[in-house]
A and B are shown apart, each in its own frame.
Chain A
Amino acid sequence: MNCRKVRSYLSASFDSSLASDVAKRVEEHIQDCRDCAREQFLMKEMLTAATSLPKKHVADDFNLKLLNRIYAEQNHPTESYLPVEPPTIWQRPLAWFSAAATVAACALVAIVFFGSRTELPPQIDQPQHLIASNTPATQDFGVRHAHRQIPMSVYENLIGVSGQRSSYRATNLSNARSLRVASDARVESLYVDWLRRLGQPDPTMAFVRQADHRLKFGSRGLEPGFRPMNAGVVRTSYTR
């Protein structure tokens, strides 16, 4: 038996799935051949290491969350994950608080970031338009060239996707069959640019929440751990 054949049998020999006569010939060869013995040694060590790779454990509250979800499914079975019309603001008293907090946060950020920068272009202060630029970011946000105005609707089509891979994405986007999601590098770069320009976290939080609401109420509900600030960005064709 030659070396090439023996090495092709090495993997099977570890599973003890070789016929006894073949296994015996392989062993005989390995006793005489240092190179094949080395190969066998390396294979054995690799498989030993793979076997003893650290095992991770799921969170302690996994069972509880699972049972809660099963309970929710039994009481409110969902035919699909298609988005439905969100409840009106009158049905959501917390939305008032949220809206007030958002406005306050935006005002604070505007004061902190834009108040002291006299050279900012005037469009920054106009809420109905955002300024996007293809030029690289400089130290001063205000120094930009080739500005052009991007309508807010472009950004409204951007929906944050949790970078933490919370259940938000799995239970919403992956199953929201009506969403036609496609990457668009240009829009994403604009979005990132926009995040940098406006400063984090408050304006971004406000925006992502706004976009988020439409999916939130269209699916089985979000888990509380959703953190829009860790969002990746996709563009969807979903509209209100």
Chain B
Amino acid sequence: MVSYNALVNRYKDRLFNVLNRMLSSEDEANDLLQETFLRVWQHKMSFDFRYAFSTWIYTIALNLARNELRRRKKIKFFDIFDFTDKLPAKEERVHQNTGLKSLIEAEIKRLPEKYKTAFVLRDIDHLSYEEIAQVLSVPLGTVKSRVNRARAILRTRLRPRMEESYELSKGTILPISIL
């Protein structure tokens, strides 16, 4: 149980961030994270030691996330507070956060699922292309293509904001990501 705890501590934050970005909901990410570790515990005997543990646990977590996303398409949830007009519209809320990071975060959420998964695993979680290919069970070329496509989409969508920052950054030595 001590080693299991160590495994949980090693992966919980990384997986939580991936799930959170996939599902755009901290509570759901927390639920699925717990479910992931529970399944790891329940199926520990079936783990194949020829493969990396990280690949296995990411596969479990992402499969759960994909099931959840698929289920969301079937069931439409309504938040009562959406009817109360207390909060500003979502678009408004995005524009209130003018920082580039907030903008990138918002645009990542808007990416199609397969591109989002590839981008998050590669550019935020820094998994290798080979690991991503194993986790997603797709060919290596497909992973590269998806990452490339995700970057292209993000670059296109972020271009106006980044061009603006680029102009501002001309007179400074600061990276535009902190403007």
The residues of A with any CB-CB pair to B shorter than 8 Å are: 11-12, 15, 17, 38, 41-43, 45-59, 62-63, 65-67, 69-70, 73, 161-167, 169-171, 173-174, 181-183, 188, 192, 195, 230-234
Contact = CB atoms under 8 A, between A and B. Distances in A.
A162 B30 CA distance: 14
Given A38-B166, A62-B33, A166-B27, A47 B151 contact: yes
Interface of B: 1, 5, 8-9, 12-13, 16-17, 20, 25-28, 30-35, 37-38, 41-42, 68, 71, 74-81, 83, 100-101, 104-105, 108, 119, 123-124, 126, 129, 144, 147-148, 151-152, 154-155, 158-159, 162-163, 165-166, 175-177
Majority DSSP secondary structure for residues of A touching B: helix
A200 to B, nearest CB: 9
A94 to B, nearest CB: 26
Nearest to B152: A11
B26 A46 contact: no
Contact of A48 (B80, B126, B158, B177): B177
A57 B28 contact: no
A46 B158 contact: yes
A49 B28 contact: no
Contacts of A52: 101, 177
Contact of A195 (B5, B28, B80): B80
